[in-house]
């Protein structure tokens, strides 16, 4: 899949609308986790060097802030909090070559999530070129992801291209291929399980996802989290699917995988040539129940296998444990978009750029 790339265009003096994903945790008005911001810096620096006039657009849904002001302060760029697009346009027209500005939370505008045509046209008038560097939001059919591509020459950013290239490798993996799925939301991961049943050599189901299997097998899971709307009966006898063989519980609630499970995974990871991991094995934020996820992360990081990890909780756990992200072959910035892309092989944001290519 080849998308129109910013590497092949002249952006000098052009107003470039750059869709990024700065939806990151904020604590006391300061950026708490800069992983996603840092991953976009190569695209921003590339455009600055080429003399573009850069207009950053993002959203934020963190419960502690509805503003992108902390992100602007982190980047040390001009912040445009104006509520009217017409006022924003007047200020954008005055920015110089190589200058960067950040608009306020794009989801503050009702037309964004509705992909409203009138709003999208106004937004497009703020730029000459559109670049999507927010792969992690590209499963959303929003104005700043899909709609805007109808009105401006549109391209993929450097991070977007990197995400697409690396995640696509899962469709033609080296073997043995181990897929690890954990976390809580089974509905979002069922498509990935279905997609890789044929190509993966083994699929480990952990975290709260495994509780659905245990319950279907007649095991008493007591107060443990599970998804009653997901039917997994057809997967119960599949020889590729592996479940935890021991668990850590508290007051009847399953909260982590046990040592035996990790030892079992250690052997499989050692023999694997490709590992794809999404979702923690337990409630890693609770003391005493982070060991399963921590040990799994270290096993993958210290292995010689090609490894791809992704998902907000997964990356947050790895960073919490102090494991360098560089020890994995690729760390995706995406969560929902990662799962949808792996399940379907495309995203609305990808298709929008393909049509413009």
Q: Which residues, at least 6 apart from 302, have a Cβ–Cβ distance to it below 8 Å? A: 327
- At 266, which helix (H) or strand (E)? helix 259-271
Ramachandran quadrant class, 86 (left: phi over 0; alpha: psi -120 to 50; beta: rest): alpha
**Catalytic residue of the set 36, 53, 122, 195:** 36
**Catalytic residue of the set 185, 273, 298, 320:** 185
Q: Does residue 336 have an active-site annotation?
A: yes
Phi then psi dihedrals of residue 4, to 5 deg = -60, 130
Q: Does residue 122 have an active-site annotation?
A: no
Are 142 and 348 a contacting pair, CB within 8 Å? no
Are 292 and 248 a contacting pair, CB within 8 Å? yes
DSSP 8-state symbol, 100: E
Are 337 and 136 a contacting pair, CB within 8 Å? yes
Q: Cis peptide before 176, with omega less than 30 degrees from 0?
A: yes
Query: In whole angstroms, what is the distance from residue 301 CA to residue 308 CA?
Result: 10
- Does the CA dihedral 205-210-213-214 come out positive or negative? positive
Alpha-carbon distance values, 34 to 63, 189, 342 (Å): 17, 26, 25
Are 256 and 289 a contacting pair, CB within 8 Å? yes
**Catalytic residue of the set 111, 183, 312, 349:** 312
* Residue from 356, 355, 314 nearest 338 by CA: 314
Q: Does residue 39 have an active-site annotation?
A: no
Are 141 and 148 a contacting pair, CB within 8 Å? no
3-state SS, residue 179 = strand
Q: Does residue 36 have an active-site annotation?
A: yes
**Catalytic residue of the set 51, 98, 191, 336:** 336
Are 257 and 208 a contacting pair, CB within 8 Å? no
Residues belonging to the active site: 36, 185, 312, 336
């Amino acid at each position: 899949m080849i998308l129109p790339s910013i590497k092949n265009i002249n952006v000098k003096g052009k107003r470039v609308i750059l869709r990024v994903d700065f939806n990151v945790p904020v604590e006391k008005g300061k950026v708490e986790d800069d992983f996603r911001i840092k991953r976009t810096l190569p695209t921003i620096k590339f455009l600055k060097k080429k003399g573009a006039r850069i207009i950053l657009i993002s959203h934020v849904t963190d419960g502690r802030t509805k503003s992108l002001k902390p992100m602007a302060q982190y980047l040390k760029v001009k912040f445009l909090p104006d509520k009217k697009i017409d006022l924003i346009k007047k200020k954008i027209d005055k920015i110089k070559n190589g200058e960067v500005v950040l608009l306020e939370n794009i989801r503050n505008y009702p037309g964004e999530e509705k992909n409203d045509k009138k709003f999208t046209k106004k937004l497009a008038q703020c730029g000459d070129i559109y670049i999507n560097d927010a792969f992690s939001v590209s499963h959303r059919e929003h104005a700043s992801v899909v709609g805007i591509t109808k009105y401006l020459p549109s391209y993929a950013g450097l991070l977007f291209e990197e995400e697409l290239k690396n995640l696509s490798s899962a469709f033609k993996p080296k073997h043995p291929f181990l897929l690890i799925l954990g976390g809580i939301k089974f509905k979002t991961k069922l498509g990935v399980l279905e997609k890789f049943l044929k190509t993966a050599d083994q699929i480990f189901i952990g975290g709260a996802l495994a509780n659905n299997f245990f319950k279907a097998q007649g095991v008493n899971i007591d107060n443990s989290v599970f998804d009653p709307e997901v039917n997994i009966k057809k997967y119960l006898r599949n020889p590729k699917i592996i479940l935890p063989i021991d668990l850590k519980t508290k007051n009847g609630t399953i909260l982590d995988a046990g040592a035996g499970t990790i030892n079992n995974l250690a052997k499989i990871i050692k023999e694997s040539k490709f590992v794809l991991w999404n979702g923690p094995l337990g409630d890693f934020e609770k003391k005493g129940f982070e060991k399963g996820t921590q040990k799994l992360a270290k096993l993958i990081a210290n292995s010689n296998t090609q490894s791809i990890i992704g998902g907000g909780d997964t990356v947050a756990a790895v960073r919490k444990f102090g494991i360098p992200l560089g020890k994995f072959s690729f760390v995706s910035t995406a969560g929902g978009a990662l799962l949808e892309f792996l399940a379907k092989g495309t995203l609305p944001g990808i298709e929008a750029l393909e049509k413009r290519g």
